[in-house]
Structure 1
């Protein structure tokens, strides 16, 4: 597969020390990598998937490092560490590598019902002190608005989760229709690493 071959050549790839991400519903950067990682030079991306195209042009590393969107040393103060408008980039973590994730627009969505499951892929078997899932409130428009904390409603929180390749969280988000953002915080157990994930969904 071309993506695997390219990843083996890229000096910025961190697959050897992979961490993880929400893979269903796909995060913005994981979704771009899943759709275009093996075909990243295809000019059709600009028309077929313009939000991925702008993200790819902004910083290719955000896609190749789809499993590394985290901050260290937050100590549970997520709202203090991540400013409004920068939630999807983890507060411009990694020197702004993921900043294009904050850009409003027609991001590709995953269809969900009002009761659905968030699946966190724990590649490095970090485990979790906790996972928190938020869903944007009805009336928020991800096509035109950067995400703020006040746009979110917490819909699930777990306790400690043992290291596992998959960490599912069942979510109930009634009253939503259309395009929304699912915002997930994964507090890893192995150290003070906080992961921040934006997944675009369409409530059927």
Structure 2
């Protein structure tokens, strides 16, 4: 019996070491995912979409041809996808444009030590088809609630495949009031006059503390 328990402890020790080693290689979720924050899941944020499509198959070389922007993001930092819910900055005080420079909007101003930098890459990100009257769905795992959401849409003529995203490319189409804590929140918005490829940029100001999330969703207005 003693030998049986000893062997069991040895197996669990080895398993723990293996999991830690794999996580260090970026093959398993590690870090902020455990703290459960959130993001826009429909239309999917860039990193949530990459996690949703490739999280179970992220080593597949076919991604390079089938989904090249996700491929470069996985190559740059897999934890940007595993931690799709952790793209935020603390203590911004509502001064979002000062905290997040042009060309760095989708990474939240290169937040979290640059983990999300690849989300700023210019190119043909996979799009979600929507109408000009649309609904955003936030999945807030920790039920932080919101002081407000600001929803921006790129102006007609902006080309996300050739141009970095700047504040001047955006039009504010919706500012909300407060939302009570909940895991699922929907925000209705409208972007008249849009057609084709665009970026929806959402600022979610969480209500549990001064914590702002910056979220890019690539869409095709049909």
Please state which band the TM-score falls in when normalised by the shorter chain. over 0.9
Contact kept in structure 1, 2:29 and 2:83, CA below 8 Å = no
Residue equivalent to 2:130: 112
What residue ranges of structure 2 are gaps of 5+ in the alignment? 1-18
Instruction: Deviation per CA, 1:44-72: give whole Å up to 9, x if none.
Output: 11110000000011111100000000000
Pick one of 34, 45, 66 that aligns with 1:27: 45
Instruction: Deviation per CA, 1:98-137: give whole Å up to 9, x if none.
Output: 0000011000000000100011111100000001100000
Give the secondary-structure state (helix, strand or coil) at the position aligned to 2:178. Answer: coil
Residue equivalent to 1:95: 113
CA distance in 2, matches of 1:10, 1:176: 39
Pick one of 71, 76, 97 that aligns with 1:58: 76
Q: What's the offset of the Cα at 1:192?
A: 0.6
Q: What's the offset of the Cα at 1:11?
A: 6.7
Larger radius of gyration: 2
Contact kept in structure 1, 2:29 and 2:79, CA below 8 Å = no
Output aligned runs, 1:129-144, within 5 Å.
Answer: 129-144=147-162
Residue equivalent to 1:185: 203
What residue ranges of structure 1 are gaps of 5+ in the alignment? none
Relative to the length of structure 1, the TM-score reads 0.94
Pick one of 162, 167, 175 that aligns with 1:149: 167
- CA-atom RMSD, angstroms? 1.4
Runs of 4+ in 1 over 3 A off after TM superposition: none
CA distance in 1, matches of 2:163, 2:138: 25
Count of matched residue pairs: 199
Relative to the length of structure 2, the TM-score reads 0.87
CA distance in 1, matches of 2:34, 2:71: 26
Instruction: Deviation per CA, 1:140-182: give whole Å up to 9, x if none.
Output: 0000111000000001111110011111110110111110000
Contact kept in structure 1, 2:29 and 2:82, CA below 8 Å = no
Residue equivalent to 2:142: 124
Pick one of 142, 155, 159 that aligns with 2:177: 159
Residue equivalent to 2:8: none
Per the alignment, do residues 43 and 117 of structure 1 end up closer, same or farther by CA in structure 2, a change over 3 Å counting? same
Give the secondary-structure state (helix, strand or coil) at the position aligned to 2:118. Answer: helix
Residue equivalent to 2:61: 43
